[in-house]
Amino acid sequence: MKRYILSISVLVFVLSSCRYETHRLNDFAVHGVDVSHYQSTVHWDSVAHQSFHFAFVKATEGESYVDSLFGNNWPEIRRVGMKRGAYHFFRPTLSAETQFANFVRNVELLPGDLPPVLDVEVIDEATKVELITRVRTWLYLTEIRYNIKPILYSNQKFYNRYLAGHFDDYPVWIARYSSRKPELAYKRPWHFWQYGNKGKIAGVDGFVDFNVFGGSLLELEQMCWMPDKVTAEDKRTAALLVTEQK
């Protein structure tokens, strides 16, 4: 009976926590949001005036999908002076090369943008080996194209179960909806932390995800992409890869 009562108490706590509004973690210096078409039209001037420094935005998914509001969000984030990053939602059963081509066709990086992001949080019907192999391929092709290491996004549980130990040389952005910082396997440090999905701010109708960067504004700047790092050979290789996928 005690065990039954405890289980109900835990369930009630979890359900209640999911309904709570996410409040900003003021002990961090660098704050951000991430959005997709689910947030509808975002008024980025309002967001920027609330001390948000960066924003990640969904660009593509799978082999052909493009987020319907990416074309609006991408230039607007830059216009208001926030750092911007674009992410691709990865489908493990599909070709990594074709998914890479989808991202490159639709995302134009400019100097000062954050590295491309690969969102890996579903296994679909792939095996773990297939998942790891295809994720590695997407990251590798993207690194060749831009001569910068992409950021790998996942939630804490998925990362620890499927990805830990395989991509330690890539920056990570981890979702853990809690006041407790992410705890990754092998004591892997994190770079970005998505700590809640119930944020409320002016400029966004409904809820928005809240994020922090683990370093300073200068360190965030140092992570950003600069085109002079990309060699002519990198550009030729990437162009050939994209052409082959068309």
Name the catalytic one among 34, 76, 113, 209. Answer: 34
**32-54 in b/e burial notation, b at 16+ Cβ within 10 A?**
bbbbbeebeebebeebbeeebbb
Nearest-CA neighbor of 226 among 144, 87, 113? Answer: 113
Q: Which of 121, 130, 143, 234 is catalytic?
A: 121
Give the pLDDT of residue 227: 85
Sorting pLDDT into bands at 50, 70 and 90, what band is 1? Answer: very low
pLDDT tens-place string over residues 175-214: 999 999 999 999 999 999 999 999 999 999 999 999 999 9
Domains, the chain: 24-245 (3.20.20.80)
- Rounded-to-integer distance, Cα 69 and Cα 246, Å: 23
Counting Cα atoms < 13 Å in the Cβ hemisphere of 23 gives: 5
The pLDDT value recorded for residue 230 is 52
Answer yes or no: 169 catalytic. no
Confidence of residue 242 (pLDDT cuts 50, 70, 90): very low
- Residues 40, 205 contacting (CB under 8 angstroms): yes
- 121 catalytic? Reply is yes
CB 209 within 8 A of CB 197: yes
| Burial of 88: CB neighbours in 10 Å, binned 0-12, 13-18, 19+ | buried
